[in-house]
Amino acid sequence: MSIGAEVAAHLPFLRRYARALTGSQSTGDAFVQATLEAALADDDLADSLRGGRVPLYKAFNKVWSSAYMEVEDAQPAGGVGHEAAAQDQLKRITPVNRQALLLTTVEDFTPAEAAQIMDIDEDDVESLVREAVAEIERESATSVLIIEDEPLISMQLEDLVKSLGHEICGTAATRTQAQEVVADKTPGLVLADIQLADGSSGLDAVDDILAIESVPVIFITAYPERLLTGDRPEPTYLITKPFQEDTVRAAISQALFFGSSRPLD
């Protein structure tokens, strides 16, 4: 397999990580593009990418940790508010502990692999993850709408959300049910499946909500690569089914950390 084909296989997931880390589709994708451009300009770096996901993410990390980029907002006008808020957050903090958490949960790297990517000791990774988890426990509570048509998964998400100190403002298995919940109360966060019970779309249900209020949204899907092409406005936060609870915790934390988002046009 060529280097290009190997890298292409991992790109959707690198985009997922970059977007979650930066809180922005356009900023995350810009860092991914900068990583690929760096590889094209450096034969040794390009050759190292034959090693799979770890060297690719390590190359990304070098770009992420050393560059402060002025990224032109590629989102439609509706996304400007969140883009600005995300950039303000990035200027105020250095989210190294959240980086370690995302790598070991959302991206499912081992602590040893995360240590390689971040170029630090494995013990430091584990310490950073503990710091990030402690931050999650101190976060303010919000109300969460769960849009999920599988009852067992919906119940699992409810229990997880409550364990993090948040309340459930409602659950929905269809777009219509989601509209009914939001008509009564606007959520502070939405967890949404893509394919719903009656054939309706979680994407459309979220669009209905974002037409009323800009809130953080996390999509859950068995096919994340279909929504991570970088070719159009796409989700900033995306979880793969079947999911681990730690992955959901990390995604919720990161979404709330950056605040309001409009992941889709």
For residue range 49-69, list pLDDT tens digits in order.
888 899 999 999 988 887 654
Each domain of the chain, given as residue ranges in start order, spans: 1-76, 94-138, 141-258
The separation between CA 210 and the C-alpha centre of its own chain, rounded to angstroms, equals: 18
Does residue 152 have a pLDDT over 50? yes
Question: Which residues are bridge partners to 238 per DSSP?
Answer: 219
Do strands 189-193 and 143-147 pair parallel, antiparallel, or not at all (unpaired)?
parallel
CB 6 within 8 A of CB 50: yes
pLDDT of residue 2: 76
Question: Which of helix, strand or coil describes residue 179?
Answer: helix
Specify the DSSP element, H or E, that contains 187: none
Does residue 245 have a pLDDT over 80? yes
Q: What CATH topology corresponds to 94-138?
A: Arc Repressor Mutant, subunit A (1.10.10)
Do strands 143-147 and 237-240 pair parallel, antiparallel, or not at all (unpaired)?
unpaired
CA distance 253 to 37: 31
For residue range 78-100, list pLDDT tens digits in order.
445 555 555 555 544 447 898 99
Q: Is the pTM of this model over 0.85?
A: no
pLDDT of residue 82: 54
Average pLDDT over residues 32-39: 92
Structure tokens at 37: 């451009």
Task: Write out the CATH class of domain 1-76.
Answer: mainly alpha
Q: What CATH topology corresponds to 141-258?
A: Rossmann fold (3.40.50)
pLDDT of residue 177: 95
What backbone torsions phi and psi does residue 224 show, to the nearest 5 degrees? -65, -30
CB 247 within 8 A of CB 106: yes
List the one residue out of 130, 147, 124 whose CA is nearest residue 218: 147
H-assigned helices in 67-168? 80-92, 96-104, 111-118, 122-138, 151-163
pLDDT of residue 84: 58
